[in-house]
Structure 1
Amino acid sequence: MTVVSYADSALSLLPPVVAIVLAIFTRRVLLSLGLGIVIGVLLLNQFSPVASGEFLFNSVKGLFWSEDGVNSWNLYILGFLIVLGMITALITVSGSARAFADWARLHIRNKRDAKLLTMFLGCVVFIDDYFNSLVVGSVARPVTDRYYISRAKLAYLLDSTAAPVCVISPVSSWGAYIIALIGGILTAHGFADSGHLSVFIQMIPMNFYAIFSLLLLLCVAFMGLDIGPMREHELNAQRGNLYDENKGLPPGANADLPEAETGKILGLFLPITVLVFATLYFMIDSGAQVLAKEGIEFNIISAFEKTDVSSSLFFGALIGLAVALVLNLVQGVEKSMVVKGVVQGARSMLPAIYILLFAWTIAGVIGQLETGKFMASLATGNIPFAFLPALMFVLAGLTAFSTGTSWGTFGIMLPIAADMAMGSHTAMMLPMLASVLAGAVFGDHCSPISDTTILSSTGASCHHIDHVVTQLPYAVIVALISMVGYVVLGFTESVNAGLLTCSVLFVLSIVWLRFKSQSNAK
């Protein structure tokens, strides 16, 4: 089947723009994504109904089955979601979530501590963003609910910890992937002697968006800087409405589940702890097996580079589920309650799965339209090298926002950034690569079609668009700060000057947010 390429046409932006704008204004995610998919498929097939229908069928089939056989990545991720839903429901049924909330009521003194706990857990569980958002959400939700912190605020805490921490952590699925990409780029440009890990570490202070996203989140947690739509959600939470009940149950919610009276904190922490360590073991083991086959000496970074994230998450979750089941049975929870928990837990993840399937489908359509290549083509032209880091930050952000993928943006934009640096000013190589990483995370944070954003909503049990809209103002503030920092870095060629500029702007932004938040409170 021949499809039309739109790599040189702004029409490639139409499907994602329609989907994103419609989702924000109508709050109907599946309808918006579906319309974006239909428009993209029609464009690819020159508006032929028959060819478009066949293409759409093959695209959906490809989510589960490809020419190489079963699409194991997608199936393992979906399986992980379902199993994690079961674990969360069993923790609720056992009464362990309530026991943890009661413990937190005595030991966690206020809302601020509950938010800081969530952020701390997000920084500790840094091995993968999917894993981070879903697991930390399951642990933190009973505590944040206890202190009437809105689910939108919880989703923001999860999302704005997960990706920023993962993108600057070398021992994570993100870090390994980025190190592998950068290694190939440096080798291709004659820098084979450069230590890939050391280069990655050098780039960490240049990732302004990740650094100042975490700092802003810390300030929001300490000072309660609720602005825009977030303020409305927090006010509703104080009235007992943790999420908008008019929109129904959000993904991951386990309403009306029976709870045993004999629940203990161990019933929450043991399954989650086992899940974390089992997943970490499978990630290292699957990577080590690939290294052994390729005859490469084992080291932890290389193992993460070669790991199979999706299968590790799934099998780690299965072991966590087994522990949760055993604890429920040992505790003497009625079998009917256990069965109801397993069924309800799996069912609670269906809304998230539907959104994820639609997001994957539109991502495939956008890939065929070559939207990323069109965005990358905008970087060409006679632009002073001093502006290049800021330009790459903006283009990477727009690409990730339009395509819904940070990793895809890395793959598209990092080689282009390196080529532009080699063609203009090699000293800008690392700042430009770092600005791509920063911009991709920013675009991912803002995009309703991003899988990471979807799973942060799921982990918080928050309606997806509510999360997108409430996080957006904070993401844009940090993006503006970062962009100015990259301009200063470009002109001075000094990372310290860029960081200092960002720091000054950050402090001014906090003062302004504090003033605005206090004004709204009056």
Structure 2
Amino acid sequence: MNEPSILSLLPPILALLMIVATRKVLPSLGVGIIIGALVLSDWSITEGAVLIWEIFAGIFVADGSINDWELYIIFFLLILGIMAALISFSGGSRAFGEWALKRVKTRIGAQLVTLLFGILVFIDDYFNSLTVGQVSRPLTDRHHISRAKLAYIVDSVAAPICVIAPLSSWGAYIITIIADILSSHNQTQYGGLQAFLYMVPMNFYAMTALLFVFLAIVWKLDFGPMRTHEKRAIMHHQVLDPDRTGVPGEQSQHLDEHKGKVRDLIIPILVLIASTVVFMIVTGAQAADEVTALSVFAETDVASSLVYGGLIGLGVTVLLTLTKRPAVTGFIKTVFAGMQSMLPAIYILILAWIIVSIIDQLGTGQYLADFIDGTIPLFLLPALLFLLAGFMAFSTGTSWGTFSILLPIAGEIAAALDISLILPMLAAVLAGSILGDHCSPISDTTILSSTGAGSHHIDHVITQLPYAFFSAVGAFAGYLILGATGSTLTGLTAALLITIGIAFLFKITRKPIADENKG
């Protein structure tokens, strides 16, 4: 298969349709992988099987050496699973839940604390997705907030906050791409960092997604499939669907808890966060030609930093657990239970990496990008790029891959048609990439958000979709107005007001679940 064709859309669309229809992630991804491999191998079963094996093996070994990125992410998941199990085993989760329950009195307060924590942990989306969910879970469980709702809050903060924070792994990566694009089109009036800062208020989806999750919390906007999960949590105190099994990170009910203290949770998590940030700075400084705040985060090795920080956090967790003198068999059983709890997430992640690799070889992203040409009215370009980036990230499961393909194309289009539109068009690509990343069940961030929150992955995907859609409506309208008026302030104001209007309609037309129960 040489040129990307419409067949390149078949594997991701088939996998996504099967996920929605069957709500079984692994078989659906498997079918998408098989179909994609057959398309790439001209429908040869043997060649297709060899291709799948090569991609699978490449997750662990690449170019004759260990593929440390994917392996380190898997290793970090196992470390986090063990940490969570030991913290629960030592009684830290229970103690933190009881401590927080005395200070955070309401369900709204518990969700707002989670939201605030997600905003503060802006360094990296992987780190954000996993740690915010893990730390918040004892508090949200005590307030009977469904894991699906927790996963939505975690996911709706992670990518949007990372994409507008210049000192994050995302921000640094985007700034370097933008700087190259501006330089190639002789745009010297501002550098990459300055352009990025100008684009922050143009990233309408990041703004509307953060606004919508805030309004969903304070106005108790539980609609669509989310309402079923929240109703079960409020009325029956079941934060998970009891008919489903295999939840990532869910092992505490099988462990014998010791009498713990709040520090048994707080200290390991703080050590994990601090040591990971330190290693991100160290690895970035070692790789950067010139050590600046921006270059450090542009060159940082996120995967190895997570593992190094995770190992230190795990070491502290083990020491705190051993001070309680647990039985050896109980300790070992807890360690293995923690590792086992992360296996569902690892299985999904591996299959997602395989299908993303196949989609990349099929040229799905390039095929979608080729739809943009010069016959489209100029004022429509930001809105259409937003939609195209959203569909591309949704289909490919990668926002960073979408950045790398569409940002240069957006720059070329702006240079050819109207260079004054270059920043709005680049911002629209960033915003659409985040939208697609939120909606895609094969996105790393989506998978890790459900893992950190301890939610069934498919429950998280299905419940988040309506919220992401309505956030996107406001953003899309904002880009139409931005394209027509050329005013960032007018476009952003419209996007936020429309988002508030949509949320308010849900507020006045749907009773809160607690009130409905009283009625």
Picking from 254, 261, 267, the partner of 1:270 is 267
Which structure 2 residues correspond to residues 432-451 of structure 1 after superposition, within 5 A? 432-451=425-444
- Does structure 2 conserve the Cα–Cα contact (< 8 Å) formed by 1:92 and 1:257? no
Q: Report the Cα distance in structure 1 between the residues aligned to 2:499 and 2:372, rounded to whole angstroms.
A: 28
Structure 1 runs not aligned, ≥5 long = none
Q: CA deviation at 1:338?
A: 2.1
Picking from 383, 402, 420, the partner of 2:376 is 383
Picking from 392, 403, 409, the partner of 2:396 is 403
- Aligned Cα root-mean-square deviation (Å): 1.2
- Does structure 1 conserve the Cα–Cα contact (< 8 Å) formed by 2:212 and 2:500? no
Amino acid corresponding to residue 167 of structure 1 in structure 2: V
Q: CA deviation at 1:192?
A: 4.6
Q: What percentage of aligned pairs have identical amino acids?
A: 48
Q: Report the Cα distance in structure 2 between the residues aligned to 1:354 and 1:175, rounded to whole angstroms.
A: 29
Q: Report the Cα distance in structure 2 between the residues aligned to 1:247 and 1:186, rounded to whole angstroms.
A: 50
1:246 maps onto 2:225 in alignment = no
Q: Report the Cα distance in structure 2 between the residues aligned to 1:395 and 1:66, rounded to whole angstroms.
A: 32
Picking from 249, 255, 276, the partner of 1:258 is 255
Q: Report the Cα distance in structure 2 between the residues aligned to 1:517 and 1:142, rounded to whole angstroms.
A: 28
Picking from 308, 313, 317, the partner of 2:301 is 308
Amino acid corresponding to residue 292 of structure 2 in structure 1: N
Picking from 312, 323, 343, the partner of 1:350 is 343
Q: Report the Cα distance in structure 2 between the residues aligned to 1:193 and 1:284, rounded to whole angstroms.
A: 30
Q: Report the Cα distance in structure 2 between the residues aligned to 1:87 and 1:401, rounded to whole angstroms.
A: 32
1:45 maps onto 2:45 in alignment = no
Give the match for residue 484 of structure 1. Answer: 477
Moved more, 375-384 or 33-42: 375-384
- Does structure 2 conserve the Cα–Cα contact (< 8 Å) formed by 1:136 and 1:158? yes
Q: Report the Cα distance in structure 1 between the residues aligned to 2:112 and 2:294, rounded to whole angstroms.
A: 29
Q: Report the Cα distance in structure 1 between the residues aligned to 2:373 and 2:250, rounded to whole angstroms.
A: 47
Task: Work out the number of aligned pairs and report it.
Answer: 514
* TM-score normalised per structure 2: 0.97
Q: Report the Cα distance in structure 2 between the residues aligned to 1:126 and 1:517, rounded to whole angstroms.
A: 33
Moved more, 325-334 or 311-320: 325-334
Q: CA deviation at 1:80?
A: 0.4
Q: Report the Cα distance in structure 1 between the residues aligned to 2:98 and 2:224, rounded to whole angstroms.
A: 32
Moved more, 50-59 or 161-170: 50-59
Q: CA deviation at 1:255?
A: 4.0
Q: CA deviation at 1:244?
A: 1.3
* TM-score normalised per structure 1: 0.97
Q: Report the Cα distance in structure 2 between the residues aligned to 1:222 and 1:371, rounded to whole angstroms.
A: 40
Structure 2 runs not aligned, ≥5 long = none
Picking from 324, 328, 333, the partner of 2:321 is 328
Q: 1:393-414 CA deviation, whole Å, 9 max, x = no partner? A: 0000000000000100000110
Q: Report the Cα distance in structure 2 between the residues aligned to 1:97 and 1:271, rounded to whole angstroms.
A: 12
Give the match for residue 127 of structure 1. Answer: 123
Q: Report the Cα distance in structure 2 between the residues aligned to 1:347 and 1:516, rounded to whole angstroms.
A: 43
Q: CA deviation at 1:52?
A: 1.1
Moved more, 66-75 or 454-463: 66-75
Give the match for residue 364 of structure 2. Answer: 371
Q: CA deviation at 1:261?
A: 3.6
Give the match for residue 55 of structure 2. Answer: 59
Q: CA deviation at 1:193?
A: 5.7
Q: 1:50-108 CA deviation, whole Å, 9 max, x = no partner? A: 21121111111111111252111000000000000000111100001000111112111
1:34 maps onto 2:11 in alignment = no
Q: Report the Cα distance in structure 1 between the residues aligned to 2:197 and 2:284, rounded to whole angstroms.
A: 22
Q: 1:219-259 CA deviation, whole Å, 9 max, x = no partner? A: 11111100110011001112122111212131111143334
Give the match for residue 208 of structure 1. Answer: 204
Q: CA deviation at 1:460?
A: 0.8
Give the match for residue 287 of structure 2. Answer: 290
Amino acid corresponding to residue 389 of structure 2 in structure 1: A
- Does structure 2 conserve the Cα–Cα contact (< 8 Å) formed by 1:276 and 1:316? yes
Q: Report the Cα distance in structure 2 between the residues aligned to 1:501 and 1:123, rounded to whole angstroms.
A: 24
Q: CA deviation at 1:6?
A: 4.4
Q: 1:464-488 CA deviation, whole Å, 9 max, x = no partner? A: 1110110000100011111111010
Which structure 2 residues correspond to residues 122-271 of structure 1 after superposition, within 5 A? 122-192=118-188, 194-238=190-234, 239-271=236-268
- Does structure 2 conserve the Cα–Cα contact (< 8 Å) formed by 1:5 and 1:368? no
Q: 1:384-433 CA deviation, whole Å, 9 max, x = no partner? A: 11110001000000000000001000001100111111111111100000
Q: CA deviation at 1:270?
A: 0.6
Picking from 484, 488, 491, the partner of 1:495 is 488
Q: Report the Cα distance in structure 1 between the residues aligned to 2:408 and 2:191, rounded to whole angstroms.
A: 18
Give the match for residue 11 of structure 1. Answer: 7
Amino acid corresponding to residue 206 of structure 1 in structure 2: M
Q: Report the Cα distance in structure 2 between the residues aligned to 1:66 and 1:346, rounded to whole angstroms.
A: 25
**Secondary structure, counterpart of 2:323 in structure 1:** helix
Which structure 2 residues correspond to residues 408-427 of structure 1 after superposition, within 5 A? 408-427=401-420
Picking from 93, 97, 111, the partner of 1:115 is 111
Give the match for residue 66 of structure 2. Answer: 70
